[in-house]
Amino acid sequence: MTNKTQSKIGILASGRGSNLQAIIDAVERGDVDAEISVILSNKENAQALERGKKHNIECAFVDPKASPDKESFDREMSRRLKEKQVDLVCLAGYMRILGAEFIETFQGRILNIHPSLLPDFPGLFPQQQALDAGVKVSGCTVHFVELAVDAGPIVLQSAVPVKDSDGVDELAQRILEQEHIIYPRAIQLFLENRLTVSGGRVLIKDD
Ligand code: GRF
């Protein structure tokens, strides 16, 4: 028996929540050694909230219209995460850009997943960007969150082939399967204290 208290994760999501589901499943399997303390969404009808409720996880819609500005909305999100004493904040399809204050509050403790091999194709429609660029390989990236959008030290990446017959949906689906594998893995590495950022690179202990 160990006295170590269970790590706590807070998740921010805006939509479908398939990455959230992958994290929930990994927690339930014991592959991620943590409790999901809260799921917050800026979208009332986010499927992510439904998924969380099904697993009896505390979920809340936080209405951006109830805050006078972006900073106060971020502060409200931050307050709720702090209230739950989360060790790690995971963005899982969270479609808002976090402000400096939020990032400062959880410095080094925010992860995001993006469906491209960053630094290529940040921002919106990365799969379409990959097709337009004609790359033969794309993939996904889990990274620590910094102020710039879809930037920050890279924790894990997974590459997938781009096939001649691919449209956005086919490519997105192939990438998504990898997202669901590397996001829980990156979270577990964080929780095991195996990630160190040095000169903009993430070093993984005992990799
Ligand atoms: C994923 O492709 C993720 O990489 C990106 O937004 C999408 C969210 O999908 N940040 P889901 O809500 O996790 O299904």
Residues 81 and 159 in one domain: no
Please give the angle made by the CA atoms of 20, 24 and 27, to the nearest 5 degrees. 140
What is the sign of the dihedral through the CA atoms of 152, 106, 97 and 7?
positive
Question: CA-to-CA distance for 164 and 69, rounded, in angstroms?
Answer: 45
- Among 107, 132, 164, the domain-final residue is 107
pLDDT-derived band of residue 5, with 50, 70 and 90 as boundaries?
A: confident
Return the CATH number at 186.
3.40.50.170
Ligand 1, atom 9: closest residue by C-alpha: 93
Ligand 1, atom 8: closest residue by C-alpha: 93
Residues 63 and 147 in one domain: no
pLDDT-derived band of residue 4, with 50, 70 and 90 as boundaries?
A: low
At residue 45, does pLDDT exceed 80?
yes
- 92-136 pLDDT, tens digit per residue, is 999 999 999 999 999 999 999 999 999 999 999 999 999 999 999
| Number of domains comprising the chain | 2
Mean pLDDT across the chain: 96
Residues lining ligand 1, judged by CB closer than 6 Å?
A: 13, 15-20, 92-93, 113-115, 176, 179
- Among 84, 107, 130, the domain-final residue is 107
DSSP 3-state of 130? helix
- 160-198 pLDDT, tens digit per residue, is 999 999 999 999 999 999 999 999 999 999 999 999 999
Residues 97 and 164 in one domain: no
Confidence (pLDDT) at 89: 98
Question: CA-to-CA distance for 82 and 105, rounded, in angstroms?
Answer: 9
Site to probe by mutation for ligand 1, drawn from 113, 127, 150, 182 as the one with most ligand atoms within 8 Å of Cβ, is 113
Domain, as residue range, for 23: 1-107
Please give the angle made by the CA atoms of 44, 78 and 103, to the nearest 5 degrees. 115
Count Cα neighbours of 89 within 13 Å in the Cβ-side half-sphere: 29
pLDDT-derived band of residue 1, with 50, 70 and 90 as boundaries?
A: very low
Confidence (pLDDT) at 32: 98
Q: What percent of the chain stands above pLDDT 90?
A: 96
Residues 90 and 5 in one domain: yes
